[in-house]
Amino acid sequence: MVSAFYAFLLSQKLVMTVVSQNLNDTLLSAVKAAGAKGGTIVKAKGTAPWNHWSGSTELPEKGKGLLLTVVHEDLVDGLLDHIDQQLHLSNSSAGISFVIDLKQARGVIGSYEEIQEGIMLKKRVRSGYEMVITIVDEGRSNIVLEAARGEGATGGTVISGKGIGSLDSSLNLDIPITPEKEIVIILVESKKADKVMDSIMEKAEINQPGKGIALLLDVERTVGLHQ
């Protein structure tokens, strides 16, 4: 029983879906109807398809909603299929959905008893895509997006955030500084991932202290990606 319980903890997946803001309610309804017990949706900005990019100094942006929901792996296929059916991601530019493997999930909605006993850990699946997450100071997301585009990435999503407060000793003030941040999420083909990371590192100066961080994660499945 104990080993099966830990298998349950290790068998959770993070499903991330990006759609136009006007489709947020439809997305939430689709996720709930597919059996997900909860999720979080945040406002974000997304680039217009880069094959239509005019080459201007500012990348075109659209209002987006980003939904994050954690579900057991047995529910993933049904969830993605239901989202696709309701929002037509596979044959339109309405948005994208993708799956990230979680090393472990605690506090997940839904109980072990709701999933059949004797869960077997499944062989890891690769989709041929990887996700680059870059966190930089506000106003620098365009540098990241342009660096990724130069190496073949075809779009990205930007979320606003705040950094952890720190004391600026140079000001001699006991005032926590919480810099505004931008989180850039980019899906890229696995064969291009290293070059995209290298380009971001160089052009956004990620290798310099205080300039930001870049992370690379495996993606198990995608819906709505169009080359």
Domain positions in the chain: 2-114, 129-217
pLDDT at residue 141, as a whole number: 92
CATH 3.20.20.70 assigned to 2-114:
no
pLDDT at residue 165, as a whole number: 47
Query: Which residue numbers in the chain have pLDDT < 70?
Result: 1-10, 47-61, 103-126, 163-178, 226-227
For the whole model, what pTM was predicted?
0.68
pLDDT at residue 174, as a whole number: 54
| CATH (residue range 129-217) | 3.30.70.120
CB atoms within 10 A of CB 33: 12
The angle subtended at Cα 152 by Cα 123 and Cα 221, nearest 5°, is: 25
Give yes or no on whether 2-114 and 129-217 have one common fold. yes
H runs (alpha helix) in the chain: 2-10, 24-33, 73-87, 141-149, 190-203
